[in-house]
Amino acid sequence: MVEATVQVTNRLGLHLRAATKLAETARRFNAQITVTTDGGKADARSVINLMMLGAAQGARLKLRAEGEEARAALDAVRRLVEERFGED
């Protein structure tokens, strides 16, 4: 198991497009990734669960990955968030 904490810095937060990118990234790996905020906990493979977190700009996300490709999965998701989901 590996963990990391990242901050959402893109202007729109974890909106539909960003949540979709995160879920697509998570699905590429043989690992279970959980995203936790003050508002709850979500399976990173589920766009709807990610949207339910309501993570706006400035929110801190705790990422936790378990499984065969946990380190690679966590690194990819962390990088996606840090790069603002490819947005402004």
pLDDT, tens digit (0-9, with 9 covering 90-100), for 33-87 = 999 999 799 999 999 999 999 999 999 999 999 999 999 999 999 999 999 999 8
pLDDT value at 1 more than 90: yes
Examine the pLDDT at 23 and tell me if it is beyond 80: yes
Going by C-alpha positions, the residue among 8, 4, 22, 5 that lies closest to residue 56 is 8
Catalytic residue among 12, 15, 69, 72: 15
88 is catalytic: no
Average pLDDT over residues 27-38: 97
Distance of CA 77 to the CA centre of its chain: 6
Domain CATH code at residue 46 = 3.30.1340.10
Into how many domains does the chain fold? 1
Q: Which domain holds residue 23?
A: 2-86
24 touches 85 (CB < 8 A): no
Is the per-residue pLDDT at 88 higher than 80? no
Q: How confident is the model at residue 7 (pLDDT cuts 50, 70, 90)?
A: very high
**If you average pLDDT over residues 11-17, what whole number do you get?**
95
Helices within 1-88 (DSSP H only):
16-27, 47-52, 70-82
